[in-house]
Structure 1
Amino acid sequence: MPNTIRLHRVLATSPEKVYRAFLEADALAKWLPPNGFTCTVHHFEPTVGGKFKMSFRNFTTGKSHAFGGEYVELAPGERLRYTDKFDDPNLPGEMEVAVTLKKVSVGTELEITQAGVPDVIPPEACYLGWQESLRNLARLVEPEINE
């Protein structure tokens, strides 16, 4: 039975800035890959019904895995949902990721639910990968650099 991963984090920045980090290809490629991986964005259409395709490459081994999906809900600064599916037939099924953003006194409360994670991926490994990604996200969105 597929697994569901739930994450919660508070970021010291605005919901709008966090939202942008999910919907700008260059930003996503910078923060989404967990430690030890690089990301290539092959196709990116951040509109409802729009599709995306990217791949993560293990920097040590050079092996990569591709995945893609479709945006099903976009509410600027508040919420986004998208489907996600691996190209590898050994990682079957479609996942759905829901991201909720809420303005709080110190910035943004971020909640992520990833449902339908294939059984062959240990939930704790998926959770760890997301934690690494969210640390990268914080490094991207929390600094206020005014040029």
Structure 2
Amino acid sequence: METERKDVASKIINASADEIYQAIINPDALASWIAPKGMRAQINQFEPWEGGRYQIRLSYDKPADKEQFAKSSDGSDITQGKFLKLLAGRQVSQSVDFVSDNPDFAGTMIMTYQLVNTGEATLVRITAENVPEGISRKDHLEGIHSTLENLAHYLKD
């Protein structure tokens, strides 16, 4: 089910837009920073070109979180989708569908990473459109902010 909800978070990261873009489209890099705090990522499929498909499994570290928050039947969050737009050093847009039997997580969400050069750093803005009703705004924004922190930390190392 499509919604009109949009969740947006941003962070200025001390790295070039090109470095950040590469961290988004490289599956090994992405797996190391994409999972919010309390989760870990596994990239099952990754075709980083327009029209290319991907599948990512986010697993919860704590059993209680699996029971409370998991969207997929195996106690994790599995997303799959396509890369819609790739503009080197500027933008990555992708469709996101949760693998779930729960209709509250149905519908295609659009995630867009916008990269804006601010001189010595880059503003990274993540916009999630058509967010499924089953995802609380508070939890989602916390997760996106955590992901941005992870990205900044990844690029420091």
Instruction: Bin the TM-score by the shorter chain.
Output: over 0.9
After TM superposition, give the deviation of residue 120 of structure 1 in Å: 1.3
Question: 1:73, 1:80 within 8 Å by CA — same for their partners in 2?
Answer: yes
TM-score normalised by structure 1 residue count: 0.92
After TM superposition, give the deviation of residue 26 of structure 1 in Å: 1.0
Question: Which of 121, 134, 137 pairs up with 1:107?
Answer: 121
After TM superposition, give the deviation of residue 2 of structure 1 in Å: 4.8
For 1:59 and 1:110, locate their aligned partners in 2 and report how far apart those are by CA, in whole Å. Answer: 27
| SS at structure 1 position matched to 2:135 | coil
For 1:121 and 1:100, locate their aligned partners in 2 and report how far apart those are by CA, in whole Å. Answer: 22
| SS at structure 2 position matched to 1:33 | coil
For 1:6 and 1:84, locate their aligned partners in 2 and report how far apart those are by CA, in whole Å. Answer: 15
Identity in percent = 24
Partner of 1:88: 100
2:83 is equivalent to residue 71 of structure 1 = yes
Question: 2:79, 2:98 within 8 Å by CA — same for their partners in 1?
Answer: yes
After TM superposition, give the deviation of residue 47 of structure 1 in Å: 0.3
2:130 is equivalent to residue 116 of structure 1 = yes
Instruction: State the superposition RMSD in angstroms.
Output: 1.2
Question: 1:83, 1:95 within 8 Å by CA — same for their partners in 2?
Answer: yes
Partner of 1:127: 141
2:14 is equivalent to residue 12 of structure 1 = yes
Partner of 1:58: 60
- Structure 1 unpaired stretches of 5+: none
Question: 1:11, 1:142 within 8 Å by CA — same for their partners in 2?
Answer: no
After TM superposition, give the deviation of residue 41 of structure 1 in Å: 0.6
Partner of 1:34: 36
Could you tell me which amino acid in structure 1 is paired with residue 23 of structure 2?
A: A
For 1:131 and 1:51, locate their aligned partners in 2 and report how far apart those are by CA, in whole Å. Answer: 25
Partner of 2:72: none
After superposition, what is the alpha-carbon deviation per residue over 1:35-75, rounded to whole angstroms, capped at 9, x for unaligned? 11111110000000000001011111162121111001001
Between the two proteins, the alignment pairs up a number of residues equal to 143
2:151 is equivalent to residue 137 of structure 1 = yes
Flag the structure with higher strand content.
Answer: 1
Flag the structure with higher helix content.
Answer: 2
Question: 1:3, 1:123 within 8 Å by CA — same for their partners in 2?
Answer: no
TM-score normalised by structure 2 residue count: 0.87
For 1:2 and 1:28, locate their aligned partners in 2 and report how far apart those are by CA, in whole Å. Answer: 27
| SS at structure 2 position matched to 1:118 | coil
Question: Which of 38, 45, 48 pairs up with 2:47?
Answer: 45
